[in-house]
Amino acid sequence: MEDLLRPIYQERASHANTLGILIMEKSKEFSPETDNFDVILLVIVTDGTEPWLVKHYEFEGKSAALHVVEESLLKNWIDTSTYRRAVEWVINGKAIFDRNEYIAMLKEELRTFPQEKRNLKLTIDFARLTRSYSESKDLFASGNYLDAYSRVLRSLHYLGRLAIIEKGYHPEVLVWSQVKRIDPEVFKLYEELINSNEETEKRVELMLLAVEFALNARAKSCCEHLLEIMRSKDEPWSFGELKVHPDVRSYALDLSTLVEYLTSKQILEVIQVETKGQGIYHRKYKVM
């Protein structure tokens, strides 16, 4: 198949801005890793006419998708898990063009998973978990048990991703097959939720308790990325200052729920700052 696609990728390899090209072939009938295409070609460039160019091809009854991605966008996908398939293409794909061993170094960086990048991913998914957990509790309290079930299942998905990242791996598209190998305890929670004979209300209630315990146990370690930013200055932070900080951009949408959770657990301290309104204070935050 590689030979059939050679005319397509050889042209890209001749461009000076091409850093590397990877190929990943479909290995089973249903393949979410390749979007069900028979083959994926990932071309990484320093700059392009657009950040992400996609073209679809057919040949001899087969299908192929060509993705031309700027390096900066790919790095963002990797760091924030925005497009997990691309991470799998880099990890599992075969390098068919590698300028100055760029692909080899990128694969090694993914394999070693540096701590600073791990901290960012932990905080992103912990922030998502706090929001999903909060929504689950609210739905459960209002008697919407099926919706609460859906949300608590999503909460377990984020918890599973955290378990994978904590062990030094990148979450894949098929998260639970990873979790089963890496963290049997978290996988057991998932099995209990979906396989239990209890009524939906009882299952959700038990899972909320389990997720709350998991949140409490991981709060400081999974939020180190945010806490380190907040320790970078002695003065307390307003929420607005935190929200626009460039290093917080990846989880800014879930920041409010995260800050409220950390405040409730006395990891963050609320500092009141007087305003012109009598008895009204600005609320600022610092690490306790």
User: Which H or E run includes 259?
Assistant: helix 255-264
The yes-or-no verdict on residue 20 having pLDDT over 70 is yes
pLDDT of amino acid 1: 65
Q: Is the dihedral of CA 6, 7, 9, 13 positive or negative?
A: positive
Q: Which of 1-10, 86-95, 108-117, 251-260 has the lowest mean pLDDT?
A: 1-10
Q: Could you tell me the CA-to-CA distances from 235 to 97, 196, 204, 274, 284 in Å, in that order?
A: 50, 49, 41, 15, 9
If asked whether residues 129 and 241 sit together in one domain, one would say yes
Among 116, 196, 117, 119, CA closest to 156: 196
Predicted local distance difference test score (pLDDT) of residue 279: 80
Residues 119 and 190 in one domain: yes
Domain boundary among 112, 137, 160: 112
pLDDT at 81: 84
Rounded distance, CA 125 to CA 134, Å? 14
Any domain includes 101: yes
Q: Show which of 92, 112, 132 is a domain's final residue.
A: 112
Quickly list H helices, 81-173.
84-92, 102-112, 115-141, 145-166
CA 195 to CA 192: how far, in whole Å?
A: 5
Q: Is residue 282 part of a domain?
A: no
Contacts of 132 (CB under 8 A, 6+ apart): 151, 152, 154, 155, 158
Decide if 159 contacts 129 (C-beta within 8 A).
Answer: yes
Hunting for tokens 């901290």 — which residue is that?
A: 119
Report the distance separating Cα 33 and Cα 258, nearest Å. Answer: 31
Contact present, 176 and 187 (Cβ < 8 Å):
yes
pLDDT digits (tens, 9 = 90+) for 237-277: 999 999 999 999 999 999 999 999 999 999 999 999 888 87
Report helix, strand or coil for 278: coil
65 and 120 share a domain?
no
Q: Which residue, of 83, 112, 141, is where some domain finishes? A: 112
CA distance 230 to 153: 31
Q: Which domain holds residue 59?
A: 2-112
Specify the pTM. Answer: 0.89
Which helix (H) or strand (E) covers residue 79, if one does?
Answer: helix 71-80
**Span 171-226, pLDDT tens digits:** 877 789 899 999 999 999 999 999 999 999 999 999 999 999 999 999 999 999 99
Q: What is the mean pLDDT of residues 117-125?
A: 95
CA angle 249, 254, 259 (to 5 degrees): 100
83 and 101 part of one domain: yes
Residue percentage of the chain with pLDDT more than 70: 99
State residue 41's pLDDT score. 94
